[in-house]
Structure 1
Amino acid sequence: MSRVLASASVVGFSGSRSVPCPESAAAVRRALAAVPASVSVHVGCAPGVDELVRSLCPRARVFWVAEVGFSGRGAFARRSQLCVESIAVPGGVWVSFPAGACPAGLLPSASAARCFSGFGSGSWASLAFAAGLGIACLLFLPPGVTAPAGWGFVAGGGGWFFRPAAVVAQLFLF
C-alpha cells in the first residue's frame, strides 16, 4: 500500500458514511501518511471516511455536492463521479474504505450511469467506476468482508487489496 501511494501522481479517497471499525480508521491514517505532501489528495464532502480524510489532510481538494450543478439524490452520484474522474490520470490511485460487502450485481464499468444506478453503496459505486476507468485501486476491508470476485483485486495483507491500473491501448486504422 505504501509503495503504491508513494509513487502516485494524485490520490482519491472514499468510503462509508461512518467509519466502520477502528481498523478502518487506522488504515485511513496509514494511507494518508504514505501520500507525499507534493501529491494532490481528492475527497468528497460526506461524513464518515470522507470527513476523516478532510480532518487529517487539510490540503485535500474537496468535491462538494453543492457545487455539482445538480440537486436531489443525483447530486451525490455526480459529486462522486467528478471526484473519481479527477483521479483518471497517469499515476492516479483510488483508495476505498467501504463498510460492508459489495452489492450483488455491481461490476466495474467505465459508465458512471451503470455504477451509480441504485446499488445502495456509493463507496462501492465509486470504486466500480474507478476500476472501470482503469485507475489503480487500493481497497481496505473490515474484518469478515471479502473483495468481490472477478474485479481483479489481489490481497495485500492486513485488510488491503490492490488492483493495478489497466493499460489502455489506442488502436489506429490507416
Structure 2
Amino acid sequence: MCLSALARLLPLAGGPVVVGCAAGIDAAVRRAVPSASVVSASAFGTGRGALAARSVAVVRRVAAAGVSGGPPPVWVSLPGRACPVGLAPSPSASACFSGRGSGSWASLALAVGLGVPAVVFLPPSVAAPAGWAFQPLGRFAGGSFWMVPAGGASPSLFGSAAV
C-alpha cells in the first residue's frame, strides 16, 4: 500500500526526483518516475563504502536542490527497522554513515542534518526515535507517516540537542 501511494505521489512533486540504484524502494521510484536522476553505487567503486558514498551523493544532491531556486526539497524515507542506537541528525556524512548498519536511517539523518525536511513511513513495529522531533502525520493498519522538520532535533532543557 505504501509503495503504491508513493508511486502515485512522486510524479506530482513538481521538482526533480533523485534516487539510488538499489532494489526495493529505489526500484519502485525508478519505475514510477522514469525521469528520475539515478545515482549509481558503481560510480564510487565496490562494497559497502560504495553504497554509503552513493547514499551520501543522493542526499547531497537533494539538499542542493533547496538552494538552487527550485521547489523546496523533501526527503522521503521508508526504513524497515528501528533507528540504530546513537544515530542522530547531523550535517556530517561521517557521523551519519559510521557503520551502524542502516543506510535508510543514515541517509535520513544526513538529509535532516543538512536542513532537508523529511516524510517518513514507519511500519507498526518501528517506533519513531527519541530526540529527532518526529511529528505524526497519520496512522493506519500498515504503519504511520511522520514529518521530521529541517534540523530534526528536539530542543532540550539546555538549548538545541547536539546533532
TM > 0.5 fold call = yes
TM-score interval, normalised by the smaller of the two chains? 0.7 to 0.9
Is 1:122–2:103 an aligned residue pair?
yes
Contact kept, 8 Å, 1:138 with 1:160, in 2: the verdict is: yes
Residue equivalent to 1:25 = 3
TM-score (norm. length: structure 1):
0.75
Q: RCO greater where, 1 or 2, for CA within 8 Å and sep 6 or more?
A: 1
Give 3-state SS (helix, strand or coil) of 2:74's partner: strand
Gaps of 5+ in 1: 1-22, 167-174
Moved over 3 A (4+): none
Q: Aligned to 1:95, what secondary structure does the other structure show?
A: strand
Query: Alpha carbons of 1:135 and 1:99: their partners in 2 closer, same or farther (altered >3 Å)?
Result: same
Say whether the 8 Å CA contact 1:94–1:137 is kept in structure 2.
yes
Write the letter of the residue equivalent to 2:51: F
User: Is the 1:106–1:125 contact (alpha carbons within 8 Å) kept by the matching residues of 2?
Assistant: yes
Asked if structure 1 preserves the Cα contact closer than 8 Å seen for 2:8 and 2:32, the reply is no
Q: Which runs of 5+ in 2 are unaligned?
A: 67-71, 152-163
Aligned residues of 1:84 and 1:126 also touching (Cα < 8 A): yes
Distance 1:128 1:139 in 2: 12
Find out whether 1:71 has 2:46 as its counterpart.
yes
Query: How many Å separate the matches in 2 of 1:27 and 1:104?
Result: 30
RMSD, aligned α-carbons: 1.5
Structure 2 length-normalised TM: 0.80
Q: How many residues align?
A: 141
Name the amino acid aligned to 2:20: G
The change in CA–CA distance for 1:31 and 1:144 in structure 2 (over 3 A counts) is farther
Kept in 2, the 8 Å contact 1:27–1:140? The answer is: no
